[in-house]
A and B are shown apart, each in its own frame.
Chain A
Amino acid sequence: MATNIEIEPGAALESALVTTESYENFQEMSSSLEEIKNSNFIPSTTDEYLDNCNNLDNDIHLNCSITSTNSKDEEYLQDEEWLSKSKHVFVLSSAGKPIYSRYGNEDRFASYFGIMQALVSFVQADDDSIRSIHAGDTKFVFLFKEPLILVAVSKTEECTLQLTAQLNYVFNQIASTLTLSRLVKIYEQRRNYDLRRLLTGVDRFIDNLLDFSENEPAFTLSAVQCLPLTSSIRDAISAAIIQSCSKIKNVVFGILLAKNQLITLVRMKKYYIHPHDLHLIFNLVQASESFKTVESCWAPICLPRFDSSGFLYGHVSYLAEDCQACLILLTVEGDAFSSLSEAKQRIVERLRRGSCLEAINESLASREESCMEVGFPELRHYIYKSKSTAQFYQPHISAPYSINSRRLVNIYKQAHYKLHCPTRPLKLLFERTPQDAILAWDTRGFELYAVLEPLIETSSAISTVGRLLNWIKKREDKLFHLNAPTF
């Protein structure tokens, strides 16, 4: 067993992340919060707080008036810029009320939302559900998750499954700000509720999430990338977090990240974080520039895959002026801010003493080596995902993709789709176009996507990939977070 696992680079016996299939059903949710709370005494204030959350009486008086006229709708239909966007995303309530539009003011084309709602409910009347409409190069993808309808209108090359996955992320982002339980409850009480009242400011997170999911392989792969650090440094950082939080009850996750890369993740025994939830945290940090100006922030965060019914509280802060890594300590206790603040101070002191801050800065400042630089001239770029740890590694993007990285992203997305196509998944793919060649390989332990020179021989492509796997194996300690430390 042990030897078997050592074969794949970046594999580990235990992972801090839940490992998943890419297009799995997003429905499944767990309810870990109750468990944690039940195992400990809950102060009464938490209950009161939850009561307050559920109290919607205050919401009745203000209703946003929707001022839409046909002439205004037509304005958008004729707006070339609006029409030329490659991907529109809309969110509406199951009653057809507009909630979000990626571009433009959703009030201005309220009638479109009516059409979307009609399409969904028409098909639903036959106990069926509409998934997509294909019209020329445009795809209309629908996702109906009570109580919301999400629609993507896309001219990109992404497949229906990838678009549905993005809509799921949008849904999870909304659930993350309100909790799914509350969302459902709101609409149970008032079907016509205008959800935008509760979502002010969330547009920014959804906008960012969509850009993020279009450009980052992490989303397609359901995995995260780690900041390269020697394993002794990474262990020292994990130890600093564990020791500093050891006396604090109910800290569920301690996450340190920088530049969209994970530095370490410490978890409570028995609990794992799902990559989708971790992506929401990355998104939160990335979209909140304001965290940088603040000493620390205390924010309720619902991780829908962890527990969609309640909030965790996040102590969010950057480590120091001279180290722009962001520390997130998640707990179930609403009043633990001060003890976590103290813990954070201790963590920073420990990291400073152990010269870990310098190590983080050094890694942040240094550019990843390109394939050429490490001796793979025929290899242009690659992504390696270790399945057992839900982590991936990619080198620096170099020519010819440095200018058009979108093209590279598309190559990966299509190869990923071909490996995971539900009707006919492939294990190995080698495809050559006049511009590039791709070799994609799905094994039990890893997925590898290698983009090569278009004129390469198949045999040398295979030998390159073999050498590459050895190269990654030698560096796995540095490129992956192989321990799964716990509090």
Chain B
Amino acid sequence: MSDLQQLYQQVILDHAKQRYGNRPLLGGTGIDRSPQFGSSHQVNPTCGDEITVEAEIDPGTGALTVRWDGQGCSISMASASVLTEIAEDTGPEGFAAAEAAFHTLMHSRGQGEADEDVLGDAAAFQGVSKFPARIKCALLSWMALKDALAQAHAAGGDHA
């Protein structure tokens, strides 16, 4: 497989088209939402790409709902889709573990081994780490969800 094919694996191209979690945001709509709510807006200044990610934790069940909206390249859009799947399937703790592994993988300069048990479809992003200019694209939504979750947890603490 060429570097380019490794970068644009089919699973990434699929997520870039069928964007899981890319739905209307709650912020500012006045729609009822959990008190454990956080929203983070991140911008990639080199290309102007941007994403807003919302994290909402159900105070009863602890279930995490992720909503995001943004515009960007296939890598950034696919990454947001993948992380929504991981975060909603595994909850805040699973996301935290995946986030740490994903961060390490992205900074591995193509040398990292992706742990599919932790990363799921995000393992397909291994090829991105060979392209330093694209790492920020892959990480943008992860930074946003990490930030949004921190806000949701802090808000939950206030209401506890």
A and B associate: no
- Please report B residues at the A interface, Cβ cutoff 8 Å: none
